[in-house]
Amino acid sequence: MPYRAAVEDYNFLFDHVVKLDAVRGTDKFEDATDDVIRAILEEAGKLCNEVLAPLQRPGDLDPARLENGVVRTSNGYADGFKAIADGGWIGISADPEYGGMGLPLSLASAVNEMMSGACLSLQLAPLMSQGQIEALEHHASDAIKDLYLPKLISGEWTGTMNLTEPQAGSDVGALASKAEDNGDGTFSISGQKIYISWGDNDFAENVCHLVLARLPGAPAGTKGISLFLVPKILPNDDGTLGKANSLKVVSLEHKMGLHGSPTCVMQYDQATGWLVGPEQGGMAAMFTMMNNARLGVGEQGIGVAEGAYQHALAYALDRKQGKTSTADGTGSIVDHADVRRMLMTMKADTFAARAIALSCAVAIDMTNATGEADWKSRAAFLTPIAKAFGTDTGIAVSETGVQVHGGMGVIEETGAAQYCRDVRVTAIYEGTNGIQAMDLVARKMMDGGDAAYRLLDEIEADAEAAREAFPNMADAVWQASETLREATEWLVSQTDLDNRFAGAVPYLRAFARVLGAHLHLKAALADKGGAREKLARFYILRLLPEHVGLLTHAQAGKADLFAMTADELAV
């Protein structure tokens, strides 16, 4: 079965679950009518199905390569990127003043997820540009905006972000890259960066790098970091291209997956760059890019989950093995109870993760449209959950997809293993999922848990309203929310952060489980007696109970984690 973008799922979610009406009701997004949303999803779906999905396997088999200092991309990728750029998909939520569509991030998130399911390696290229566009919109000077944004939005130029260095992984404050003021409005940037997704390509006129570096005399740590825009080719004032900048791709990383996406080691040798934002304001500017990139990475995991599920389902419907007692069955392995369990779990978790990510996107849109503090805190709270649960779901669903295939799952020709290899890194980049969980239980609870409690209040109110229609499901969701509330109260009471961090990952997953059940319940109410009610019943009665064990783990504290010495760990 060829890949099919989940257009109808998004239409349903926007109409009945995450309620895009609130976003469309703002002045900022009043042009995002129902007709516009549906037309854009339909066109994006066609692009994914017909242009991008056919590039999935070729990119894996024909990886990007470095030849004489130039990155050569996989066969077909140049045409695929051109189709993305020509359709205006890079600038779907960018400022119309510079050529963007100005549509909600919710819609951009849906499109990005569909592209990820079609061909994740290629989708990374426009995602990097989108993040840079947003950072420049918020922090760059008018001169930089006027010169760079139209080119990035059109896809003539592409963007990257350069954070990581060999000695500084997640500890960005340990970076060693240096910047020196040239006295003419430019700076000289020197240093090496690693893990730079799409650090170069052979289809864009220019590649624009956002680079973190430290000016002389700046304090140590993250507070002393500044952000610079460093193009591969120096542009003239009129936007035409001048001479090459003093930077290069040293090598490409040899990765377990995402072979079509060149991950570069970049070297800057007194390369010319321009300051973005104030001096020593680099992390604030970069976080503008990273926060929405975290949601984007969560969407990548969900997209891969969708692709892996469709791949596994097609195999299960075709593969005949063993006997089943299913009346009017297909005669294929989809009639086996355990195969059905796997497929239902894959489908239910993918829907839950998708609905959580869209809820986060809606909160971001409402923040941008209204500036209201409650929306801002909700968006901040949901971001680490959307990123971690989205990518964990992508990994789990793709691994289950291999299991559905049985022995054929580990045979590369079937394509099932590629989903596992491609998606695995999403739990690591843009902040590992452990870091997301630590952020959730620490920084995101500096409000005393208020954002969490407001979400729980909403979940319980909706569960109460659903009791007449679905008493068993509604009671299960309500009770789970209360258990989660008690665990949240315990976490907030812990002054030793290690007690929070020790259970941060299970707490985040438990919160995602309860949120997923809440959103499945809303879907069931909108589709009584239909497939979505049946899927919600499976999720709520079979998967939601996992939260009990997770929350027990979350409240266990740190003592047993540190009971063994480092030497004892090695025994």
**Amino acid symbol at 108:** A
Q: What was the pLDDT predicted at 385?
A: 98
Kindly indicate the confidence band of residue 292, based on its pLDDT and cuts at 50, 70 and 90: confident
The strand pair at 225-231 and 241-244 is best described as unpaired
Q: Which residues pair with 247 in a beta bridge?
A: 268
Beta carbons of 193 and 247 less than 8 angstroms apart: no
Residues in CB range of 483: below 8 A, 6 or more apart: 547, 548, 551
C-alpha–C-alpha distance, residues 480 and 549, integer Å: 12
Give me 350's structure tokens: 């993918």
Q: What is the CATH number of domain 159-280?
A: 2.40.110.20
**Amino acid symbol at 160:** T
What's the N-to-C CA distance of the chain in angstroms? 49
The strand pair at 157-162 and 70-72 is best described as unpaired
Give me 244's structure tokens: 């090459």
Full 3-state SS string of 463-530: HHHCCCCCHHHHHHHHHHHHHHHHHHHHHHHCCCHHHHHHCHHHHHHHHHHHHHHHHHHHHHHHCCCC
The domain limits of the chain are 7-152, 159-280, 432-559
C-alpha–C-alpha distance, residues 283 and 294, integer Å: 15
Give me 197's structure tokens: 């997704």
Beta carbons of 409 and 434 less than 8 angstroms apart: no
What secondary structure does DSSP assign to 87-141, as a single string?
A: TT-TTTTS-GGGT-----HHHHHHHHHHHHHHHHHHHHHHHHHHHHHHHHHHHS-
pLDDT, tens only, 265-278 = 999 999 999 999 99
* Number of neighbours of residue 250 by Cβ within 10 angstroms: 14
Q: What percent of the chain has pLDDT over 70?
A: 98
C-alpha–C-alpha distance, residues 348 and 526, integer Å: 16
Q: What was the pLDDT predicted at 222?
A: 79
- Contacts of 548-553 with CB under 8 Å at 24 or more apart are 548/483, 550/506, 550/507, 550/509, 550/510, 550/513, 551/483, 551/484, 551/487, 551/506, 551/507, 551/510, 553/503, 553/506
Q: What was the pLDDT predicted at 466?
A: 98
**CA angle in degrees (0–180, nearest 5) for 441-442-448:** 85
Q: What was the pLDDT predicted at 185?
A: 95
Region 228-253: mean pLDDT is 95
Phi, psi of 71 (to 5 degrees): -80, 125
Beta carbons of 360 and 373 less than 8 angstroms apart: no
Beta carbons of 504 and 440 less than 8 angstroms apart: yes
pLDDT, tens only, 162-219 = 988 887 656 666 688 999 999 999 999 999 999 999 999 999 999 999 999 999 999 8
Distance of CA 379 to the CA centre of its chain: 14
**Amino acid symbol at 42:** E
The mean-pLDDT minimum among 227-236, 274-283, 297-306 falls in 274-283
DSSP state of 294: H
Sign (positive or negative) of CA dihedral 154, 66, 121, 140? negative
| Cα–Cα separations (whole angstroms), residue 292 to 29, 423, 430, 484 | 18, 18, 10, 26
| Cα–Cα separations (whole angstroms), residue 18 to 68, 116, 311 | 49, 21, 27
Q: Which residues pair with 196 in a beta bridge?
A: 264
The domain 7-152 having CATH identifier 1.10.540.10: the answer here is yes
Write down the pTM of the prediction.
0.96
The strand pair at 206-214 and 187-197 is best described as unpaired
C-alpha–C-alpha distance, residues 88 and 20, integer Å: 22
Sign (positive or negative) of CA dihedral 285, 288, 293, 294? positive
CATH topology agreement for domains 7-152 and 159-280: no
Beta carbons of 215 and 179 less than 8 angstroms apart: yes
Region 314-343: mean pLDDT is 89
Residue 306: active-site member: no
The strand pair at 157-162 and 206-214 is best described as parallel
Instruction: Encode 284-304: b = buried (16+ Cβ within 10 Å), e = exposed.
Output: ebbebbbbbbbbbbbbbbbbb
**Amino acid symbol at 537:** R
DSSP state of 63: -
pLDDT, tens only, 217-231 = 998 887 889 999 999
C-alpha–C-alpha distance, residues 531 and 72, integer Å: 45
Q: Is the pLDDT of residue 286 over 80?
A: no
Q: What was the pLDDT predicted at 171?
A: 62
Q: Is the pLDDT of residue 508 over 70?
A: yes
C-alpha–C-alpha distance, residues 407 and 389, integer Å: 28
Phi, psi of 320 (to 5 degrees): -110, 125
C-alpha–C-alpha distance, residues 497 and 463, integer Å: 32
Kindly indicate the confidence band of residue 254, based on its pLDDT and cuts at 50, 70 and 90: very high
Q: What was the pLDDT predicted at 163?
A: 86
Kindly indicate the confidence band of residue 558, based on its pLDDT and cuts at 50, 70 and 90: very high
Kindly indicate the confidence band of residue 285, based on its pLDDT and cuts at 50, 70 and 90: confident
The strand pair at 65-67 and 70-72 is best described as antiparallel
Residues in CB range of 119: below 8 A, 6 or more apart: 52, 53, 55, 56, 59, 80, 260
C-alpha–C-alpha distance, residues 283 and 286, integer Å: 5
Kindly indicate the confidence band of residue 288, based on its pLDDT and cuts at 50, 70 and 90: confident
Phi, psi of 197 (to 5 degrees): -65, 130
Nearest CA among 497, 496, 494, 490 for reference residue 552: 490
Q: What was the pLDDT predicted at 471?
A: 98
Question: Please, what is the average pLDDT of the chain?
Answer: 95
Phi, psi of 168 (to 5 degrees): -135, 95
> Which residue in the list 134, 306, 430, 533 is annotated as catalytic?
430
Residues in CB range of 390: below 8 A, 6 or more apart: 297, 298, 299, 300, 301, 302, 353, 356, 357, 426
Region 417-439: mean pLDDT is 96
Full 3-state SS string of 95-109: CHHHCCCCCCHHHHH
